[in-house]
Chains A and B, each alone.
Chain A
Amino acid sequence: MTTNKIKDRKQKAKVKQQNIIDALKDHGVKVYGDLDNGQFPKFSIPSRSVSNIVYDKKLRQYILGNSAAVRSSRNSSQLRSFTQLMWLAFFANRLTQEKKSSTLRDVYYSSQAFAIEFEDQSESDNIIVDLEAVLSKPREDFHIFPEERSSIFGDLNIEYTIPGYEGKKMNLSNHPDGYAIGPSLTTAELLDTSAEIVIAIEKGGLFTRFVEEQVDKKFKSIIINTGGQAPRSTRTLLKRLHDELGLPVIILTDGDVYGEHIAMVIKSGSANAAHLRELTVPDAKWVGVWATDIEKFKLPTIPMTESDIKRCYDLQNDPRYQEGIWKKELDVFLKIKRKAELEAFSKYGLTNITDKYLPQKLELAKSL
């Protein structure tokens, strides 16, 4: 890592923060101007309805279409939510300026200090998504984070940027339980790493096995536990690892239709976050467990439930599942109507998965 690179990176992060602050200020200025001119201010919010979510093949992710809704303070039925949105922008501005972070639940309670009422947390969560859509930025960018459940382990040096820890450095292989992926990690500078690959794994149990088996060292990798469907902070971090450090990302999931989709969301996003474009790692590779692996490795299986099967049919209609392994594996799942978990490899011994399966798959990944 050259000093230039670090400077560059720091510059990038600064620009990103400034972008958010500027965007928020722009909206503030516009609303201020409207009020001062005796006009009712309004926001244009991209519509997040299903009909306005389209798959962009070029971007390889779901994005919002062109339709937008106006939320006007003139309309008495929208006045309340307009005010909530204004408050949130105001609050996000403070968070970003002061480099403080807040969780979704925090936001819900913080509102009460400003005489802004939310019926419940789902109402405030919705306003947060509205602001994301208005700014086209994920909430993490304005320092609002979900509750954490995913973790990371490997030889990666980071430098915290959050207040009180600025400049403090850390190597992420110092703690065998891994590090929780929270705001401080997502916003930290990624300094350097000896790793050559990122392995995202669906299950906490296997994550621990991988640390024990020193997968990080054996395969020069950073191991990330997504804890099921990857939270947005985790997806942000995966994207940064790929974009900033140039690390390829491979994904290991359970051998079922949900596992396949967890991989797809990391790769190309979800409909829920179609208004955001910075959460995806289009180059990420899903290496298994594939449906074809179930027969190939003679894994112990469980019969698919009705909802598993229904999910298969749903995904067949998704444009991203129309070709390649995505289509092929889905078809096989539907054919064999059985599924297998990552732990199924334990039938052949506790280390079988790291000794046998993983090397094969890493090799295979190169050709994908």
Chain B
Amino acid sequence: MSSIKEKFNQISPSEFFYRNRDLAGFSNPTRSLYTAVREFVENSLDACDQKGIFPDVHLSIKAVDPDAPDPKPYILTVKDNGPGIESKHVPLAFGTVLYGSKFGLKQARGMFGLGATMAILYGQITTNKPVYVKSSTDGKIQDEFELLLDIQKNKPVILKHNTKEVTKRGLSVSICLEGDYAKAGSKIKDYVYETSLITPYATITFDDPKGEKFHYSKIVNEMPPAPTIIRPHAHGIDVETIRRMMVESQFEIPNIDDIMIEKVRKDLGLAKKNLTFSGIMDKAAKRWKTLSRPVRVVISLMSFLEMDFDKLNKVRIDDIDVPNKKLYYWDFGDSQAKTIDLDSDNPYYKQLTGTVQGETLTAFLTKRFQRIGPSTAVKFAEFAGFKPEKRMGSLTNEELVKLSDSLQKFEDFLSPDPSCLAPLGEEPLEKGMKKFFKPDFCAVIQRPASAYSGFPFVVEMGIAYGGEIRPGGPHVYRYANRIPLLYDEGSDVVLKVVNDTDWSRYKVKGDPPFVIVSHICSTRIPYKTVGKENVADRQEIERELRLGLQFLSRKLAAYMSKRGQAEMAKKRANLYAKYLPLISQFCTELSGKTKEPNYKKLLEEEITVDDQ
């Protein structure tokens, strides 16, 4: 028997996604075509949103050989009037995976621009064609690239690059990929339709491969304010995030090299004289107030190590273990790791430990989290059982876990700041719905911001009834961060809430012509699956949806009963119009008259008559 040696390889991100393209929605030609459209359109819309430009997005899909049977290669082009991408970023943005500008904490349609690269990657592996990118950031010069991805190295391969003069700003991306428009077509049309409903300030055009053109002009002339990037909320944090934030908060121990030593000498005014250890300390004590922080740290280290510059030059500081009051260093002279005890009575002790321990707990909380003020920070410290002035760097692992747990449990933090969210707003939503559905009745609501696990979210909803809406409702249009969710609606929380509603209570009966639009905005939508098509039933989100729907349902009920009354009045009017002439006819003959009585007066006024 031969033994096979296990090989350990590191793979590149693009290699990883190449192998796991199902994760990003590129599992088959139908789904892939739809996902590619989505990714490019959403990137265009996001880019325009960020810069406050009314989006004008042009999507086209063309079959390379129209007569071939599906699945077959298609050329997908998405062109926008957005800010474009600077030419130096283009190859990286389109030729590598996990490169993007969307890593901050704010709401956007996509997270990392990953999907677009995936689409390019998918196109390349199915058709072996490059991606064409045209970008102009100033509306004068346009950079044109022809790129391929080196999947194994996660590097772009520039096949062609030239520039030319243009008159319009924006980005155009064109890829060739294998798709199945016969199957994906209706979904793509739905996607374009529903996207323009939730983006009423955008103009979206779609040229489909069969020569059909779908055009949705912008309906509103206001853009919702762009979201801002914000600090995290205490409830949405875990141990690893705290550790990373702590490192950011610490000052590094200066690297003691020749340059550093020269700087210390200079700052102490030692010029060329070589002073002894105690001489240096004396000089430092005199000049302490004028010294910079790194210099003070070096002096402090020297005081503990009791070394002059020559000796200091021959060691490397490894670690300062504050809880155990130890200093570890490597001595190049005798090639040994050494340890000294830190005497807390040493006047430089505080300077040194303060440096490595970073901010106090309260400073850390107020500076690095949103919506925590000094008094809340102190209150929290008490709640968590820490001293407010406890240095972050002095926390042991156990304490760190305790801190993280306490941050989750403390209930007096203000709810998350929703300024990172970009709901559409009631007015644009209502205008969009009225334009799209041409209903008899329409009502919308934007719920106040709420949060789940520290992630802020806002629920917007609208109900439209009657008019040109087809019966058989409620028809539910689901959106998350302005993305229409078209698949897997069965297990979605919105559907759950809608289905839980007893519509007969709101005077909605039978096969109503009835539309519900639901939009959830959040820095993190709790999707149930990687396909990002259905939202999990988080209790907080479900509650907001329920309250929103109840509010709208009551408005609908009021409308329905008004409508019912109008219908009743009409019915009654018909009743009188039918029966009064008969009564007239009968009583004329009974009374022996020849002319009918003048009953028309009654017909005119009966609508105002109440039943007695």
Q: CB distance A79 to B576 under 8 Å?
A: yes
Cα A39 to Cα B612 with chains together (Å): 14
Contact B611 A38 (CB under 8 A): no
Tell me if A73 is interfacial: C-beta within 8 Å of chain B. yes
Within 8 A of A (CB), among B92-145: none
Cβ A73 vs Cβ B590 within 8 A: no
A72 contact set on B, CB distance < 8 A: 612
B588-612 to A contact mask, C-beta < 8 Å, 1/0: 1111110001110110010001011
Q: Which residues on the B side are within 8 Å of A93 (C-beta)?
A: 589-590
From A28, A38, A74, give the contact of B592 (CB < 8 A).
A28
Pick the residue among A86, A114, A116 that contacts B587 (CB under 8 A): A86
Provide the bound-state CA to CA distance between A77 and B601, in Å: 20
A115 adjacent to chain B (CB < 8 Å): yes
CB distance from B381 to the nearest CB of A (A): 73
- B611 and A31 contact, CB distance less than 8 A: no
Is there an interface contact between A79 and B575, defined as CB atoms closer than 8 Å? yes
Residues of B within 8 A of A32 (CB): 587-588, 590-591, 593, 597
Bound Cα distance from A29 to B588, whole angstroms: 8
Assess the B591–A75 pair: CB atoms within 8 A: no
> B589 and A28: CB pair below 8 A?
yes
Check A25 for interface membership: any CB of B closer than 8 A.
Answer: yes
* Residues 568-594 of B at the A interface (beta carbon under 8 Å): 572, 575-576, 579-580, 582-593
Interface size counted on chain A using CB atoms at 8 A = 33
Closest B residue to A97 by beta carbon equals: B589
A127 CB, min distance to chain B CBs, angstroms:
13
CB neighbours (8 Å) of B580 from chain A are 35, 73
Contact pick for B612, options A27, A75, A90, A116, CB 8 Å: A75
Asked if B611 and A75 make an inter-chain contact with CB atoms under 8 angstroms apart, the answer reads yes
B residues near A27, Cβ cutoff 8 Å: 590
Other-chain residue from B579, B582, B590 in contact with A28 (beta carbon distance below 8 A)? B590
Output the nearest chain A residue to B573 by Cβ-Cβ distance: A76
CA distance A55 to B584 in the complex (A): 39
Please tell me which one of the listed residues B582, B597, B609, B612 contacts residue A114 in the complex, with CB atoms under 8 A apart.
B582
In the bound complex, do residue A36 and residue B597 qualify as a contact, i.e. CB atoms below 8 Å apart? yes
Contacts of A82 in B (CB 8 A): 579, 583
A29 adjacent to B591 (CB under 8 Å): yes
Q: Contact: B591 with A116, CB < 8 Å?
A: no
Closest to B588 in A: A32
- Cβ of A40 < 8 Å from any Cβ of B? yes
Contact of A25 among B572, B575, B592, B605 (CB under 8 A): B592
CB distance B591 to A77 under 8 Å?
no
**Are A38 and B591 interface neighbours, CB within 8 A?**
no
Using known A-B contacts A35-B580, A38-B601, determine if residue A90 contacts B611 with beta carbons closer than 8 Å: no
User: Which chain A residue lies CB-closest to B605?
Assistant: A38
Contact A83 B611 (CB under 8 A): no
Q: How far is the CB of B610 from chain A (nearest CB, A)?
A: 9
Given contacts A25-B591, A29-B591, A35-B599, contact A74 B612 (CB under 8 A): yes
Q: Does A337 have its Cβ within 8 Å of any Cβ on chain B?
A: no
Per-residue CB contact flags for chain A residues 17-42 toward chain B (1 = under 8 Å, else 0) read: 00000001101110111011011110
Q: Is the beta-carbon distance between B590 and A79 smaller than 8 angstroms?
A: no
Complex CA gap A25/B611 in Å reads 28
Complex alpha-carbon distance, A31 and B599, angstroms: 11
Query: Which residues on B sit within 8 Å (CB–CB) of A87?
Result: 582, 586
Flag if A83 contacts B582 (CB, 8 Å).
Answer: yes
Q: How many A-B residue pairs have CB under 8 A?
A: 92
Does A327 sit at the interface, judged by CB under 8 A? no
Q: Is A242 an interface residue (CB 8 A)?
A: no
Evaluate contact between A41 and B587: CB separation under 8 angstroms. Answer: yes
Q: Which residues of B contact A36 (CB under 8 A)?
A: 597-599
* Highest count of chain A CB atoms <10 Å: which of B585, B586, B609: B586
Interface majority SS on B: helix, strand, loop or mixed?
A: helix
Could you tell me the distance between the alpha carbons of A28 and B599 in the complex, rounded to whole angstroms? 14
B590 A83 Cβ-Cβ under 8 A = no
Q: How far is the CB of A192 from chain B (nearest CB, A)?
A: 38
What's the Cα separation between A31 and B601 when bound, in Å? 15
Write the chain B residue with the least CB distance to A80: B579
Residues of B within 8 Å of A223, CB to CB, are none
Nearest chain B CB to A112's CB is how many angstroms away? 13
Interface 1/0s, chain B 454-497, versus A by CB < 8 A?
00000000000000000000000000000000000000000000
Query: Taking the nearest CB of chain A, how far is it from the CB of B598, in angstroms?
Result: 5
Cβ of A289: which chain B residues have Cβ within 8 Å of it? none
Tell whether A89 is near chain B: CB-to-CB under 8 Å.
yes
Q: How far is the CB of B399 from chain A (nearest CB, A)?
A: 78
Cα distance, A77 to B597, chains bound together (Å) = 23
Measured between beta carbons, the chain A residues less than 8 angstroms from B612 are 72, 74-75
The interface residues of chain B lying within 8 Å CB-to-CB of A41 are 583, 587
Q: Report the separation of the CA atoms of residues A77 and B579 in the bound assembly, to the nearest whole angstrom.
A: 12
Interface string of A95-136 (1 = CB under 8 A from B): 000000000000000000011100000000000000000000
Q: Is there an interface contact between A76 and B590, defined as CB atoms closer than 8 Å?
A: no
Do A28 and B583 touch (CB < 8 A)?
A: no
Task: Given A41-B583, A77-B611, verify A90-B589 contact (CB < 8 Å).
Answer: yes
B587 touches A31 (CB 8 A): yes
Tell me whether A31 and B583 are in contact in the complex, defined as CB-CB below 8 angstroms, given that A25-B590, A25-B591, A79-B576 are known contacts.
Answer: yes
Identify the closest chain B residue to A87 (Cβ): B586
Contact A90 B598 (CB under 8 A): no
Residues of A contacting B591 with CB < 8 Å?
Answer: 25, 28-29, 31-32
A82 to B593, CA, bound (A): 20
- Known interface pairs A28-B592, A35-B587, A77-B611; A83-B579 also in contact (CB < 8 Å): yes
Among A32, A87, A89, A94, max chain B CB count under 10 A is at A32
Closest to A35 in B: B597
Tell whether, in the assembled complex, residue A86 and residue B582 are in contact, meaning their CB atoms are under 8 Å apart: yes
Q: Are A90 and B586 in contact (CB under 8 A)?
A: yes
Contact partners of A83 in chain B: CB under 8 A: 579, 582-583, 586
Contact B584 A35 (CB under 8 A): yes
Query: Shortest distance in angstroms between A100's beta carbon and chain B's nearest beta carbon?
Result: 15
Residues of B within 8 A of A80 (CB): 575, 579
Q: In A181-195, which residues have CB < 8 Å from any B CB? A: none
Q: How far is the CA of A75 from the CA of B599 in the complex (A)?
A: 16
Complexed CA–CA distance, A203 and B37 (Å): 93
**Assembly CA distance A36 to B588 (angstroms):** 11
A31 to B582, CA, bound (A): 12
Chain A residues near B579 (CB, 8 Å)?
73, 79-80, 82-83
Contact between A28 and B611, CB atoms less than 8 A apart: no
Q: How many Å lie between the Cα of A29 and that of B590 in the bound state?
A: 7
Report chain B residues within 8 Å CB of A74. Answer: 609, 611-612
Closest Cβ–Cβ distance, residue B564 to chain A (whole Å) = 15
Contact of B611 among A24, A29, A76, A94 (CB under 8 A): A76
Q: Quote the shortest CB–CB distance from A30 to chain B (angstroms).
A: 8
A38 to B589, CA, bound (A): 19
Question: Contacts of A89 on B, CB cut-off 8 Å?
Answer: 586, 590
CA–CA, A74 and B589, complex, Å: 21
In the complex, what distance in Å separates the CA atom of A39 from the CA atom of B605? Answer: 11
B579 nearest CB across to chain A (Å): 4
Q: Evaluate whether A28 and B575 lie within 8 angstroms (CB atoms) in the complex, with A38-B601, A76-B611, A114-B582 already known.
A: no
A24–B590 CA distance with the chains assembled, in angstroms = 7
State in angstroms the CA–CA spacing of A49 and B122 once bound together: 85
Nearest opposing residue in chain B for A116, CB measure: B582
Extra 19 A-B pairs, beta carbons < 8 Å, given A82-B579, A86-B587, A87-B582: A27-B590, A28-B587, A29-B587, A31-B587, A31-B590, A31-B591, A32-B591, A35-B602, A38-B601, A74-B611, A75-B612, A76-B575, A76-B576, A82-B583, A83-B579, A83-B586, A86-B590, A90-B585, A93-B590
The 22 listed contacts between A and B (C-beta, < 8 Å) are A24-B590, A25-B590, A25-B592, A28-B586, A28-B589, A29-B590, A31-B590, A31-B591, A32-B597, A35-B584, A35-B598, A41-B583, A72-B612, A74-B609, A82-B579, A83-B583, A83-B586, A87-B586, A89-B590, A90-B585, A90-B589, A94-B589
The interface of chain B, by Cβ under 8 A from chain A, is 572, 575-576, 579-580, 582-593, 597-599, 601-602, 605, 609, 611-612
Pairs of residues from A and B, 3 with the lowest C-beta to C-beta distance, nearest first: A28-B590, A90-B586, A28-B591
